[in-house]
Amino acid sequence: MIPLFKHYPLLSERLPYVSLGGFPTPVRKLDRLAKDAGINQLYIKRDDLSGRVYGGNKMRKLEFILGHALHSGIKEVLTFGFMGANHALATAVTSQQVGLGSISMMMPEPQLLYARSNLLMTYYCGAELHHQLNKQLLILATAYQLILHKMKNGRLPLFISGRSTSPLGVTGFVNAVFELKEQVMAGEIPEPDYIYVAKGSGGTTAGLMLGIKTAKLKSRVVSVSANNEKTFNVRKVCQLYDKTALLLHSLDPSFPRFECSDENLDIRYNFVGRGYACPTEEGLKAMSLMEKNEGIKLDSTYTGKAFACLLDDAGKGYLRDKVVLFWNTYNSRDFSGVIATVDYHRLPRGFHRYFERDGQPSGH
């Protein structure tokens, strides 16, 4: 039984769930890196190892989202995002794992090398791929595919919003905090003073905050945004927090009915750089330090920037006598051997140009 259900057994009867990942993910002390950073106690939560085929933070969210789909008798799920999005890949991997069809609606992505690998793996996992040039066309094409699949299968696919951001998805990280609390109780890690985590749409942040409040931990979440404040702001994180708390309370009245307070939010926007998916000098340096000292890879869009924030705070002396946990939401599973067998010509024609330069193949 998952940690959340141990504390709230009624949720196990009323909240559909399907096991997808390898949990609990390990916590590890980063002694070498801590010494360089000037932190006495630095740990990492290895959610990059959350899945056997593919890791990262999406696995926790999809356990509840796909659990709902299976419980409802839904046969397919549909999601959207940029070409090669981590969310689309995670959805394809896990949908195949539980026998659901997966439909991915995609727009162009500037980071081609990164996107190519994810796109090939998404295709390998059986996802139905569709490509549109802009958001307006994507919306129209998505509506068309929803209707088409309803006519074919007698019901609509489950629509999964980008990055699995919904109260069901957020619940995955409420459960994650109860998992962390068990690791604290077992002596694997002292109770953290600070938890640093990358922030996209805010679901992981909201889940960690609600879980900490419910589990009665003292930890404070430092959420490092990969987007500017106007795109994904404090209000949206609070909305996710409140809606998730309301959902869980409605299913099990013993679950506390908490409300989000702006005072509890610590969201950093000063590590975004030029914008989403644009690498920063600080982020690249943080990535290099993590890999050199601990052999763990981060990415330049999310986790590299989040870890750069942690190092910056450490450099200012804020973390010297604190227990600090870095929650790694990136995937570290290597699927390069799998995609080496996939010819990009098998993908829908609209994707071919992303694998070619001046008419020459790029390696796949």
Output the six-digit token pair for 120: 């090939």
Phi, psi of 325, rounded to the nearest 5 degrees: -120, 125
Give the pLDDT score at 359: 37
For position 112, what pLDDT does the model report?
A: 63
Q: What is the mean pLDDT of residues 273-298?
A: 94
Alpha carbon distances (Å) from 74 to 34, 70, 71: 47, 6, 8
Q: What local confidence, expressed as pLDDT, does residue 361 receive?
A: 38
- The answer, yes or no, to whether residue 251 has pLDDT greater than 60, is yes
pLDDT at 16 over 90: yes
Is pLDDT at 230 greater than 80 in this prediction?
A: no
DSSP assignment of 79-110, as one string?
EEEETT-HHHHHHHHHHHHHT-EEEEEEE--S
Q: Is the dihedral of CA 238, 241, 245, 246 positive or negative?
A: positive
Assign 170 to helix, strand or coil: helix
Distance CA 138, CA 198 (A): 27
Q: How confident is the model at residue 161 (pLDDT cuts 50, 70, 90)?
A: confident
Domains and CATH numbers, the chain: 3-56+166-327 (3.40.50.1100), 75-156 (3.40.50.1100)
Q: Is the pTM above the cut of 0.75? A: yes
Q: How confident is the model at residue 364 (pLDDT cuts 50, 70, 90)?
A: very low
Q: Are the C-beta atoms of 184 and 212 separated by less than 8 Å?
A: no
User: 């056997």: which residue's tokens?
Assistant: 52
pLDDT digits (tens, 9 = 90+) for 168-223: 999 999 999 999 999 999 999 999 999 999 999 899 999 999 999 999 999 999 99
Whether the per-residue pLDDT at 325 is higher than 50: the answer is yes
State the pLDDT confidence band at 360, using cuts at 50, 70 and 90: very low
pLDDT tens string 132-155: 999 899 999 999 999 999 999 899
